[in-house]
Amino acid sequence: MDLPVMPPLLPMLAKARAGVPDQPDGAPEWLYEPKWDGFRCVVFRDGDEVLLGSRNTKALDRYFPEVVAAVKAELPQRCVLDGELVVPRERDGRVRLDWDSLSQRIHPAASRVAMLAEQTPAQVVAFDCLALGDDDLTGRPLHERRAALESALDGAGASVHLSVATTDADVARGWFETFEGAGLDGVVAKRLDGPYRPDQRDMVKVKHHRTADCVVIGYRKHKSVDGVGSLLLGLHGSERMHMVGGASAFTNVERKRLLDMLQEYRVGEDVTYSGEPNRWNAREDHSFVPLRPELVVEIEYDQMESDRLRHAGRVLRWRTDKSPEQCTYDQLEVPARYDLKDVLAR
């Protein structure tokens, strides 16, 4: 492979902001895009050589052979694109992004990789062009890279898509409210005159933030600190308690304090969590310490994926004023359903 931009490459990142930034008076400053919550992927193609680089530069090509084939069929002979790997699936008559199916694609067994590539094929949504032909575009302003991206995807087909974009802040705010129903994660704003800065937080991301009261049903020990690594959270369903995810991001002082506080609620020895393992690290320990379901905590979260938190929540406060029985799915806000095909067709 011999491209003007070569792997490994750490992609440009975003910093969080509370709301979609307004355009200043005069010429537009921002380009707004939906936030595609899949696997970040930098696509390198030089003829028949294709490499799919992850956010931390790990190669993804062996897990997504159908994407490698799509890149060869639908993209220019020599290009480097920044984008997201997603798995669209139909649910209740609508197509939306399926995070669970995407996460299951990282598997060590070649036979299972081949099976999943056929059963839950991934697609690429591209939102930046870093190189085209012999031209390194990373130093060019975004509006020039966007034009190059549109040119590169002019012949794309069913598996490689151009991310929708707008310079209208009100349109972007509308996307923030509606596109979540198709499995998207918020809105990203990029400076139209900005170059591509690998591993720098030069973009702005606006994500959904909601709160929920959950029952603390267990904890995992921290790997290197004598304290709690994460809390396991539950919600009452129609017939039983459901494990919905976890909360983490504690300071070392908090980890040790939590470990002391939770000892009186322990109900037995460590057990093994029966959920899907982390396929980036097959040796990761998935045991946890079960607790009596008596403590309630208020968390902040972004999205639900089916009946679970898509990402780990953040503890806001302990709710001694709430009973565990009040922690049900009824409190969760459910976004209006939206079809992913309508997003991609814009």
Q: Which positions are catalytic?
A: 35
Residue tagged 């057990």 (tokens):
271
How far is CA 53 from each of CA 39, 166, 320, rounded to the nearest angstrom? 10, 27, 46
CA 45, CA 22: separation in Å to the nearest integer?
Answer: 36
Going 167 to 173 to 175 to 180, the CA torsion angle's sign is positive
Q: In sequence order, what are the beta bridge partners of 40?
A: 84
**Token output for 107:** 């598997």
How far is CA 112 from each of CA 50, 59, 109, 115, 206, rounded to the nearest angstrom? 21, 18, 5, 5, 36
CA 329, CA 253: separation in Å to the nearest integer?
Answer: 32
**Token output for 235:** 């919600």
Contacts of 327 (CB under 8 A, 6+ apart): 212, 213, 214, 215, 234, 235, 236, 296
Contacts of 345 (CB under 8 A, 6+ apart): none
**Token output for 142:** 């975004």
CA 97, CA 103: separation in Å to the nearest integer?
Answer: 12
CA 5, CA 51: separation in Å to the nearest integer?
Answer: 12
Are 192 and 121 in contact, with CB atoms under 8 Å apart? no
Region of residue 275 (left: phi > 0; alpha: psi -120 to 50; beta: else):
beta
